[in-house]
Structure 1
Amino acid sequence: MSDFLDILTHGRRFKAAVKELSVDELKELAGKLDKIITDREAKIAAESEALAERNAKIEEIRKQMEAVGLSVDDLGAAALKAAPKKRAPRPAKYKIEVNGETITWTGQGRTPTVFKNELDKGRSMDDFLI
């Protein structure tokens, strides 16, 4: 695509590239380019109008804030939500001692292997309640 742009933007190369075209074809090409230019200008005008409208609204809000006595810093403080506090860890509900090591479990999540092994042997979870 860069070769195309090089030819299109370089006067002599462009002239050499279109020398085989008839006058009618050149006029058609010029019409297409004019349409592209018109569309691009309209798009730029719409974007600048939207930006101007946005800036006008911002200025209007700024004046309203000034009238009330607020600043942008006040908004920042109100917008920031306090970080949620971490909850305390759940207390252990079950306890088992294996090889001198005490293992506790809250009853939440996957059952630890040592508890599962004891359950497979026929014991009940009530046996391990703290």
Structure 2
Amino acid sequence: MSDFLDILTHGRRLKAAVKELSIQELEEVEQKLAKVIADRREEEAELQKLEAEKQRKIKELREAMAAAGIDAAELLEGEVKTTSKPKRKRAPKPAKYAIVDANGERKTWTGQGRMPNALKEALAQGKSLDDYLI
């Protein structure tokens, strides 16, 4: 898309890109581009109109709140609700492998994360991981 914009916004590159087009084809492109511009202007005008209406409503609400002696903080006090569900912790995965290390301690491993050193050493000695399946 950026190549298209570079060509469209650079006079010489645009001229080179449309060199093969006839006058009639260029005029059709001009009409289509004029329509796109007009549509964009309408969209921008509509967005500005909506924003102005929103700002007007905000001003009215602020004035009404000031007249009633209500502060914005009072409106939000105790009313904050979250729509998302609370995140639940997942249950830990069960151990898949077990080995007894040099100290006589039983080390387990789920197959994820860091491998226990005792298991690394056993694998380095040529043993298979399947030998330690639980």
TM-score normalised to structure 1 length: 0.58
Question: What value does the CA root-mean-square deviation take over the aligned residues?
Answer: 1.4
5+ unaligned residues in a row in structure 1: which ranges?
82-130
Alignment of 1:1-130 (within 5 A): 1-80=1-80
The percentage of aligned residue pairs carrying the same residue is: 52
The one-letter code matched in structure 1 to 2:7 is: I
Runs of 4+ in 1 over 6 A off after TM superposition: none
Q: Number of residue pairs matched? A: 81
1:3-51 deviation line (CA, Å, top 9, x unaligned): 2221111100100111121111111100000111111111111111101
- TM-superposed deviation, 1:2: 2.1
- Which has more helix, going by share of residues? 1
Larger Cα-atom Rg: 1
Measure, in 1, the Cα distance between the counterparts of 2:69 and 2:9. Answer: 55
5+ unaligned residues in a row in structure 2: which ranges?
82-134
The one-letter code matched in structure 1 to 2:38 is: T
Change in 2 beyond 3 A, CA 1:69/1:26: same
